[in-house]
A and B are shown apart, each in its own frame.
Chain A
Amino acid sequence: MMKDSNGIMTKTSERTMLINIGPQHPSTHGVLRMLVTLSGEQIIKIEPIIGYLHRGMEKMAETRTYLQYLPIVDRIDYLSGFFCSYAYISAIENLINTDIPIKAKYIRTLTMEMNRISSHLLWLGCYLLDLGATSPLFYTFIEREKILNIFEDLTGSRMMYNYYTFGGVKRDIDKELLIRIKKFSKEFLKAVQEYEDLITNNPIFLTRTKNIGILSKEDATEYSITGANLRACGIQKDLRKDSPYLIYNNLEFSVPTGTISNSHSRYIMRIKEMKESNKIINQCTDWLLSNIEDNEINTKINPLTIKPNGAALGEVESTRGLLQCYIEANGTEFPNRIKWRTPSFYATQAINTIAKGFMIPDLMAIFGSLDIIMPEVDR
C-alpha cells in the first residue's frame, strides 16, 4: 500500500516507480531536479525541486553598493543579461528620477531585442536537441555566434555585458557595427526560413509536440505565467505594448498571440517573436544610422555617489516573460532589499499540471517548450 498526493491509500497492484530526473540530466537545462512518479512510462506526478543554482543574488545586493551590484545582475539570467540589467537600472533611474537620452534609449532597445533573438535561438537549438534532432543546434548557434560577436565588439564581453549604466549606456555604437547588425538581420530572416523548412511542418516534430502539455488560460493566469507561454494561450499581454517603456511607442511591431498553448504553439510563438524582434532591430538601426552624429549617450551621473531613497520597481518584458526588480532603498549607498520577480520561476511550477498523464518523451517536449532557465529560477 502506498499513499498518493492526496494521502489516499492506493493498491500496490498499481505499482509506481520514483525516478529522479536531474539535477544532472542532459535535458533539464541546467540543474533542475524533477522527482517523477512513473507508472510504466506514464507520468503520475512531477515534483520540481529547485535551488541547485542558488547564488543568493538578492542577499548579495544588501552588502554591495548599487554600482558593485550592477555587473552581477547580468548573471541572473545569463542568456539574456541585457534584460536583467535594464530591469535593475530602470528601477534605480526611477528612484533618482533621471530621464535618459533618446540615443541611449534606441541603443538599449536594439541590444535588448538582439538579446531576445540570441536567447530564443539557444532555446530553439536546445529544444530540438531535447527532441532528438542534432543539426538544428549547430545552425542556431551559428546565428547566435554572430549576435554574440556583435555584443563582444560593442560591450567587451560575450555574455556578461555590464554595458548599461545609470542614465544611459557606457559606449557609443559606431557606424561599422550598425552596418554589421543590418547585415545580420538580413541573413537572419533567411536562417529562420531554414529552421522553419527543417522543423515547423516536419511530421515527426508535429507528432512530438502537438496536443501535449496543454496550458489552459485559467492555469496560466493562476500560476501567473507570462511571456510567450501565456501569449500562446490567447491572452495578449506584453509589457512592450501594454505600458511601453523606452521607445517601443515609436516602433512598429506586433505581438504574436496563439489560441491554444501546447508545445507546438509555444514553439510557433517564439519563432514569430524572433521575426518581430528582427523588425524592431531594423527600425532601431535605421534610426541610429540617421542620427549617427548624435553623441549624447548618457546623462553623466556619477554612479559612485548615488544614494537613493524610497522604493521603486523596474520591469521589462524579457525573453521569458515579465521580469521585475523591486528595490527598497534607505538613503545610503547600500539597498535595503532587492527582490527579483523572474518569469521562469513561475513557469516551473506549472510542470506538474501540464505534464501529468503524459509519457517520459513528452515530458522533455513539454518542459523544453516552457523555456525555463535555471539561474533565473534560483537566482
Chain B
Amino acid sequence: MIKSFIYPIKELIKGLLTVLKNGFKEKVTLEYPEKKKVLNNNFRGKIKYDKTKCIKCKICQKVCPAKGTIEINETFKIDYSQCIFCANCVEFCPKGALTITKEYELATNNKNELIFNEGIN
C-alpha cells in the first residue's frame, strides 16, 4: 500500500532530476547567421555551370526528376524554385560541366532571381 504511493513519487523525482541534469550539459544552439554549420564537400547545394565544358548533350535535362527545371535551348536555364537538389544532373554530366557547390541560402524576395540563365558556347 505505502509502496504503491512511494514508487510513483520516486519516479516523478527521478524525472525532475533527469531534466535538471540535462541543464548542465553543453548547449546545442547554433546562432545561425553569425555561426554556420561546416558542410561536407558532398553537400548538394546550388549547381555551378561551366559553359566551356558543356557539349549540349541534354542529359541533365533528361535525368532531372522535376521536369522543366533544366532547359537547354539557346541558353542553359535552371529554375531553383523547382529544383529538388538531387544532383542527378551533376552525377550524369558526361563532361563535368556541372558541379555542386555548398551554397544553400537561396531565399529571395523575387521569384525571378531564382531562375538562372547562362549562354552556351
A145 to B29 CA separation, bound complex (whole angstroms): 12
B116 close to chain A: CB less than 8 A: no
User: Is B42 a contact partner of A171 (Cβ separation < 8 A)?
Assistant: yes
User: Is A198 a contact partner of B19 (Cβ separation < 8 A)?
Assistant: yes
User: Is B44 a contact partner of A194 (Cβ separation < 8 A)?
Assistant: no
- List 24 A-B residue pairs with CB atoms under 8 Å apart, sorted by A's residue number: A70-B65, A70-B88, A71-B86, A153-B42, A154-B42, A156-B40, A156-B44, A156-B87, A156-B100, A157-B43, A157-B44, A160-B85, A162-B86, A171-B42, A197-B14, A198-B15, A198-B19, A201-B11, A201-B14, A202-B12, A202-B15, A304-B59, A304-B62, A304-B92
B33 close to chain A: CB less than 8 A: no
A156 to B100 CA separation, bound complex (whole angstroms): 10
Residue picked from A153, A156, A171, A304, most chain B C-beta under 10 Å:
A156
B63 close to chain A: CB less than 8 A: yes
Contacts of A203 in B (CB 8 A): 8, 11-12
User: Is B88 a contact partner of A67 (Cβ separation < 8 A)?
Assistant: yes
Q: A71-B86, A135-B19, A197-B18 are known contacts. Are A202 and B65 too (CB-CB below 8 A)?
A: no
Which of A152, A156, A202, A304 contacts B63 (CB under 8 A)?
Answer: A304
User: Is B40 a contact partner of A153 (Cβ separation < 8 A)?
Assistant: yes
Q: Which residue of A lies closest to B85 (CB)?
A: A157
Residue picked from B12, B15, B28, B88, most chain A C-beta under 10 Å:
B15
A304 to B66 CA separation, bound complex (whole angstroms): 17
A6 to B91 CA separation, bound complex (whole angstroms): 58
Contacts of A145 in B (CB 8 A): 28
Q: How many residues of B contact A (CB 8 A)?
A: 29
Mask of B6-26 contacts with A, CB within 8 angstroms, 1/0? 001001101100110110000
The secondary structure that dominates the A interface is helix
B84 close to chain A: CB less than 8 A: yes
User: Is A68 a contact partner of B87 (Cβ separation < 8 A)?
Assistant: no
B114 close to chain A: CB less than 8 A: no
A358 close to chain B: CB less than 8 A: no
Those 9 A-B pairs whose CB atoms lie nearest each other, nearest first:
A71-B86, A203-B8, A156-B42, A153-B40, A156-B44, A201-B11, A198-B18, A68-B65, A197-B18
A160 to B21 CA separation, bound complex (whole angstroms): 34
Q: Which residue of B lies closest to A198 (CB)?
A: B18
- The range of chain A's interface size is 20 to 34
Q: Which residue of A lies closest to B90 (CB)?
A: A156
Contacts of A68 in B (CB 8 A): 62-65, 88
Mask of B72-90 contacts with A, CB within 8 angstroms, 1/0? 0000000000001111100
A354 to B66 CA separation, bound complex (whole angstroms): 40
A153 to B67 CA separation, bound complex (whole angstroms): 27
A70 to B92 CA separation, bound complex (whole angstroms): 14
Q: A153-B40, A156-B100 are known contacts. Are A162 and B15 too (CB-CB below 8 A)?
A: no
Mask of A37-72 contacts with B, CB within 8 angstroms, 1/0? 000000000000000000000000001110111111
Which of A65, A72, A156, A204 contacts B43 (CB under 8 A)?
Answer: A156
A346 close to chain B: CB less than 8 A: no
Mask of A145-189 contacts with B, CB within 8 angstroms, 1/0? 100000011111100101000000011000000000000000000
User: Is B28 a contact partner of A71 (Cβ separation < 8 A)?
Assistant: no
A330 to B73 CA separation, bound complex (whole angstroms): 31
Mask of A347-364 contacts with B, CB within 8 angstroms, 1/0? 000000000000000000
A18 close to chain B: CB less than 8 A: no
User: Is A71 a contact partner of B92 (Cβ separation < 8 A)?
Assistant: no
- Smallest beta-carbon distance A78→chain B, Å: 12
A139 close to chain B: CB less than 8 A: yes
A142 close to chain B: CB less than 8 A: yes
User: Apart from A69-B65, A139-B22, what 20 extra A-B contacts exist at CB < 8 Å?
Assistant: A65-B62, A65-B63, A67-B92, A68-B64, A68-B88, A70-B65, A70-B88, A71-B65, A71-B84, A71-B88, A152-B39, A152-B42, A155-B42, A156-B44, A157-B44, A157-B85, A160-B84, A204-B12, A304-B59, A304-B92
